[in-house]
Amino acid sequence: MRKTRRSASPTLKNGHISDLGAPVEVRRHPGARRLTLRVSRTRRTVIVTLPVQCDLDEAGSFITRNIEWVRARLDSLPDPVPFLDGVFIPLRGDAHRIAFAGPHGRGGPVERRETPSYPELRVTGHHEHAPRRLKDWLTKEAHIALDERVGFHAKRLGVTAKRIAVRDQTSRWGSCSTTGVLSFSWRLILAPPEILDYVAAHEVAHLREMNHGPRFWALVAKTMPGLEDAKRWLQIYGMDLHRYGAAVAQDA
């Protein structure tokens, strides 16, 4: 992947569009017949795809010609919620306040504490490392929960997962490889428990049926009777989970 720079206004500089503070990715694709433009809702990134023979300078020109469309799409996205001291994030569907305790705080890297108002996620260590520590902790919590639910559904369906991986996936909540490896997004730990449970059941069912046909959905329904409510929740609220922990882009 390469990025281009252009002097026209608005400019494309250091991977950002001036005036928008949006990261830009310029991609070449051998199958592309023309320039295309899209805004990733999960990554909050402007993506320009170019044919192989197209000059890179065309990326900046193309964005400039479509700048109002880009601005409208970016403005429609929900505001990012970075991991900062005092902000609220969901954990298993319930609001929690992040509290940076500093390098002299007691306890582990992250601890959940009850308070008279809201439960807190208390993060120790230097403030510049606190967001990473919190994300690592959330990823670990997601892995623990997914390991338990995958084991539950695998036993009910008579299958075995080779391994569970928890990543920062943006295009899907879970996936199943042909080798039996199940991958999930750590952000599922932010959702209510039944949502994580549904995604676990969904991917476990793929160990028997690598498709979305009637037999696949029958397997999911067998081990997860409330799947329709969970599917609907993800359709309505799922995209909102991607704004938590997002970095706030700065104008170039």
For residue 118, give the CATH number of its domain.
3.30.2010.10
- Statement: residue 11 has pLDDT above 70: no
Question: Do 51 and 121 belong together in one domain?
Answer: no
Overall average pLDDT of the 223-238 stretch: 94
Measured in degrees and rounded to the nearest 5, phi and psi for residue 33 equal: -100, -20
pTM above 0.85, yes or no: no
Please list, in sequence order, all residues whose beta carbon lies within 8 angstroms of the beta carbon of residue 121, skipping any fewer than 6 positions away.
Answer: 89, 91, 96, 97, 98, 99, 110, 111, 112, 134, 137
Q: Which of 6-10, 117-121, 144-148 has the highest mean pLDDT?
A: 144-148
Question: Do 201 and 105 belong together in one domain?
Answer: yes
Tell me how many domains the chain contains. Answer: 2
Measured in degrees and rounded to the nearest 5, phi and psi for residue 239 equal: -60, -30
| C-alpha to C-alpha distances, 236 to 77, 98, 148, 182, nearest whole angstrom | 14, 25, 26, 24
Q: What's the pLDDT band for 1 if we cut at 50, 70, 90?
A: very low
Question: Do 162 and 51 belong together in one domain?
Answer: no
> Which of residues 76, 96, 123 is at a domain's end?
76
Which helix (H) or strand (E) segment is 60 a member of? Answer: helix 57-65
Peptide bond connecting 214 to the previous residue in cis, omega within 30 degrees of 0: no
Q: Where are the beta strands (DSSP E) in the chain?
A: 12-13, 16-17, 22-29, 36-40, 45-51, 88-91, 94-102, 110-113, 120-124, 163-167, 174-176, 181-185
Q: Which domain holds residue 177?
A: 88-238
Which single residue is written with the structure tokens 């700048």? 67
Q: Where are the beta strands (DSSP E) in 83-154?
A: 88-91, 94-102, 110-113, 120-124
Question: Do 136 and 175 belong together in one domain?
Answer: yes
- Asked if residue 2 belongs to a domain, the reply is no
Question: Do 151 and 37 belong together in one domain?
Answer: no
Q: What is the pLDDT of residues 45-83, one digit of tens each?
A: 888 888 888 877 777 788 888 888 888 888 877 788 999
- Asked if residue 245 belongs to a domain, the reply is no
